[in-house]
A and B are shown apart, each in its own frame.
Chain A
Amino acid sequence: SQKIEQNSEALNIQEGKTATLTCNYTNYSPAYLQWYRQDPGRGPVFLLLIRENEKEKRKERLKVTFDTTLKQSLFHITASQPADSATYLCAHASGGSYIPTFGRGTSLIVHP
């Protein structure tokens, strides 16, 4: 079955730098990948969706890429701020499935 893998180690960066988080999937290419933000004790909040036939998607300071050759999606936050500190989850749903599967998430810590 499809697996979503995210780096379990926290990513620590300095304010103003670009944060890059990785999401790898196994087996078949999902129809799309999604990225969510989760703050401690809260439910995840949808950020971006990128489809299989899209290479890149942007929203303000956020950018997501989808590389079907590497079976990987990268999530970038440019000009990072301490308020960007949170856990970022990658999720996928394939084919006709309406059930998203989530990765474990990567914690991002932006230091002032």
Chain B
Amino acid sequence: EADIYQTPRYLVIGTGKKITLECSQTMGHDKMYWYQQDPGMELHLIHYSYGVNSTEKGDLSSESTVSRIRTEHFPLTLESARPSHTSQYLCASRDNSGNTIYFGEGSWLTVV
């Protein structure tokens, strides 16, 4: 069982609001990722980190930002939410000694 946690699981917010999606893992993994996934669609990488103070943008352009101040914590922030940001956001981390990716349960964001 993976020890990677996301909060909130479900969130409905108004347009223009600022939101932070939290992601924490207790496995000491260096590499962490944020994916965006619409229902029935593929996972799109939006951000990744190779370790503390390392963050990069992924393949899919996103208006969100991330930070990695501590190994275990990789929050994603939307400064001004829009309806187009409505989606599922999945946080993941990678085993340091192997290639297994562990996913959180996801955060479902609805912007109205």
Report B-chain residues with C-beta under 8 Å of the C-beta of A101: 45
> Does A34 lie within 8 Å of B106, measured CB to CB?
no
Q: Are A98 and B94 in contact, with the CB atoms below 8 A?
A: yes
Number of interface residues of A (CB under 8 A): 21
- Cβ distance A79 to chain B, nearest Cβ, rounded Å: 25
Q: How large is the interface on B (under 10, 10 to 19, 20 to 34, 35 or more residues)?
A: 20 to 34
Which chain B residues numbered 1 to 40 have a C-beta less than 8 Å away from chain A?
A: 2, 31, 33, 35
- Find chain A residues with CB under 8 A from B58 CB: 99
Please tell me if the beta carbons of B31 and A44 are within 8 angstroms of each other in the complex.
no
A41 to B101, CA, bound (A): 18
From the candidates A32, A41, A103, name the one contacting B99 in the complex (CB within 8 A): A32
Max count, chain A CB within 10 A of own CB: residue among B43, B100, B105, B108 = B43
Q: Are B101 and A103 in contact (CB under 8 A)?
A: no
Chain A-chain B contacts (Cβ-Cβ < 8 Å), number: 46
- Contact across chains for A43 and B45 when beta carbons are under 8 A apart: no
Is B50 a contact of A46 with CB atoms below 8 Å?
Answer: no
In the complex the two chains form, is B90's CB within 8 Å of A103's CB? no
Digitize A5-24: 1 where CB-to-B-CB distance is under 8 Å, 0 elsewhere. Answer: 00000000000000000000
- Chain B residues with CB under 8 Å of chain A are 2, 31, 33, 35, 41-43, 45, 48, 50, 58, 88, 90, 92, 94, 99-106, 108
Known: A44-B43, A44-B90, A101-B45; 13 extra A-B contacts, CB below 8 A, are A36-B101, A41-B88, A41-B106, A43-B92, A43-B104, A43-B106, A44-B101, A44-B103, A89-B43, A99-B33, A99-B45, A100-B101, A104-B41
For this complex, 8 residue pairs linking A to B, each with C-beta atoms less than 8 Å apart, are A34-B100, A36-B101, A43-B104, A43-B105, A49-B100, A98-B31, A101-B45, A105-B42
